[in-house]
Structure 1
């Protein structure tokens, strides 16, 4: 999971020798347990003042002008010596991009690459101030419950930090263009308009996510693109200007208890294939639903394949399927375990390339 680069105070163990060897061992064991508990509690603490001082010089405000003359505001962070990572939706249709560093310097940036499906973008900037250093991207996944901070310029308020914890993983959120973005981190660190593209960092100053959305009608509900997606997508944006996503070609629904009952299945786990797109990778391999049935007053699809595993990984929900496909690449052949007509069988699908969202 997430690497925690948190300084843990060393607790001195004081043992008592009275009572002989047996007494000493007993007290030592109690001290060891107390030490472990104290270290665990201290490891969960976070000095947000030190964290802010360490990371804020690497965070920028992003101001854009679009083709229709509109102005936009977001955030970003220094990823490499002259590269800045932000959200795709921050720089979409931008004709001019300006960055402001924490101590006030303005720089003009150019867009290197964008990927709407992960909502990530890379900018190139020259003459980066000497005090700004790239922020490291964390290895592994974030941990639920781990303390984090969101840095950026919410509502144009530059140099803002908000704190919270990782509230959940593997969330799926809708994009502004109508498709879903999988594998997103949920956090209760407040994220507001203008935070988009800024870093979500752990207590060691590592980027665990890129802030992408806050739900304004809800309290303490924000989302960020996780570090593993940054590590997978950003190098391709730098090299190619884009990232190719795998495409399966189905519409599906989760196997809720009602859907499972309608399909005569004992367990409500998996993803039911509702429809298979013509001439897609799944065409002729997977079977969609052919009819519906009314259960408890609800009309549900029946008869389609139920996907329960992909390349040995369990698929219990639509989020699981989206995560597996997000980690796959076009041209890769995956083995799917499906339940078809009440029996398990395996099929192989060679994934295609996902078209841009405007096509």
Structure 2
């Protein structure tokens, strides 16, 4: 039986089932020569037949790739991987080293929100992005779901960014033409064509994870393609490329777009609910927008005059096409920020303003609010035994730590690659066994002025450190 391979790429590692997969110089020469001869023939054809040859060459596949390519981005960064004793000369103990990881992402919103696979961004300390234009920027991890292998990141820099046209996956046909675009083996914007071979495939990865309801395709998907789009012939994204069956030819898989959008919407909703309370629920409607289905009595939405049945069409001048648009617009707000809402009721359009309330879970404790403002993290305490289980090789007897549950985009923590699941052990020369310790540390005069402070954390079985450029405590709570 073959092995399922998630299609992120670690540069310098051999990926495949054996044999020489490297590109030889004579291979490149033969390809170049063939390309040159083909180009000469094309020039002769064009001269002899005129513009008609261009219309024959400009197939639906060409048009689809041209339509979708500007929204496809190359993701790359450093990952820490284990080097086992068996792979090291002299029987040295296990160690860790940094390797370059590569993958692909798709821009789904002009404000710079990008969908990719979780395994592409997992444990990446600094996420770098190359746009279709060749411009380089960085991105921040916003939300992720390891079980579904999906993640949402946000590009830094000035938008608007080109977005992918979105299709549907509820009407796919076996045999229809599909196209995969991605960073295959590090060759950016590689496009391959195939068909939909099967639908509703359940594919096990390991004992704890299984992909469900996947699209099977014969389109060429290679290491580095993970997170890239699977397109229909109209250039619309119908799936996110995720895996290939090693040892088999033309068997690859993609997560259907309807499943992707539903999962990402839920991811952002959970993220938003940890930060703020609006006091309403909504659902999609066929004519666009989000219909209010529930209101919390006395909540912000209720106090602003909204009623069940109202159809939200704009938030802060941004059109709301569906629940994903709604959650992304809320994501742009910080706790306490005003929210301008335009809605339809009984055929008439109205405007109102509501305030996003800070959640008691997030900032009921002043120390928690300070951690979010100055460091850019939401945390909860972890005991000494928990820290010891995460890393039994710690030399210092830590009294405990703070588990990071959320990271504010653009914050000091985000800049240093701190992610949800990390356990913060200390800042400067003090341990952070609880929120009261963190508050006391952040109240130190040299830290209050916004100077750099060294931090220590545990990530899985690694112990890491870095330097935080802490924000001035005079700043207001914001979210980029």
Pairwise TM-score range, normalised by the shorter structure: 0.5 to 0.7
| Residue of structure 1 equivalent to 2:225 | 195
Counterpart selection for 2:173 from 138, 143, 148: 143
Q: Number of residues paired by the alignment?
A: 201
Is the 2:180–2:228 Cα contact (8 Å) retained in structure 1? yes
SS at match of 1:48: helix
Separation in structure 2 between the aligned mates of residue 67 and residue 129 of structure 1, nearest angstrom: 31
Separation in structure 2 between the aligned mates of residue 78 and residue 157 of structure 1, nearest angstrom: 19
TM-score by length of 2: 0.39
* CA positional deviation for 1:57: 0.6
CA distance 1:57–1:182, shift in 2 (3 Å): same
| Residue of structure 1 equivalent to 2:201 | 171
Separation in structure 2 between the aligned mates of residue 127 and residue 91 of structure 1, nearest angstrom: 19
1:91 equivalent to 2:104? Answer no
* CA positional deviation for 1:231: 2.0
Is the 1:210–1:224 Cα contact (8 Å) retained in structure 2? yes
SS at match of 1:136: coil
Separation in structure 2 between the aligned mates of residue 242 and residue 131 of structure 1, nearest angstrom: 23
1:78 equivalent to 2:107? Answer yes
| Residue of structure 2 equivalent to 1:208 | 238
| Residue of structure 2 equivalent to 1:224 | 254
* CA positional deviation for 1:112: 0.9
Separation in structure 2 between the aligned mates of residue 53 and residue 169 of structure 1, nearest angstrom: 26
Counterpart selection for 1:56 from 69, 78, 87: 69
Counterpart selection for 1:65 from 78, 84, 90: 78
RCO higher in 1 or 2 (8 Å CA, sep ≥ 6)? 1
CA distance 1:118–1:47, shift in 2 (3 Å): same
Deviations 1:60-100 (A, max 9, x none): 11102225533211001111121000011111112211111
| Residue of structure 1 equivalent to 2:184 | 154
Separation in structure 2 between the aligned mates of residue 242 and residue 67 of structure 1, nearest angstrom: 30
Separation in structure 2 between the aligned mates of residue 216 and residue 173 of structure 1, nearest angstrom: 13
Separation in structure 1 between the aligned mates of residue 217 and residue 170 of structure 2, nearest angstrom: 17
Unaligned stretches of 5+ in structure 2? 1-57, 82-97, 274-420, 422-459, 461-480
| Residue of structure 1 equivalent to 2:60 | 47
* CA positional deviation for 1:179: 1.9
SS at match of 1:94: coil
Separation in structure 2 between the aligned mates of residue 241 and residue 214 of structure 1, nearest angstrom: 31
SS at match of 1:153: strand
* CA positional deviation for 1:171: 0.8
Moved over 6 A (4+): none
* CA positional deviation for 1:175: 2.6
Structure with greater helix percent: 2
Separation in structure 2 between the aligned mates of residue 61 and residue 157 of structure 1, nearest angstrom: 10
Deviations 1:309-345 (A, max 9, x none): xxxxxxxxxxxxxxxxxxxxxxxxxxxxxxxxxxxxx
Separation in structure 2 between the aligned mates of residue 233 and residue 143 of structure 1, nearest angstrom: 23
Is the 1:151–1:159 Cα contact (8 Å) retained in structure 2? yes
Q: Alignment RMSD, CA only?
A: 2.5
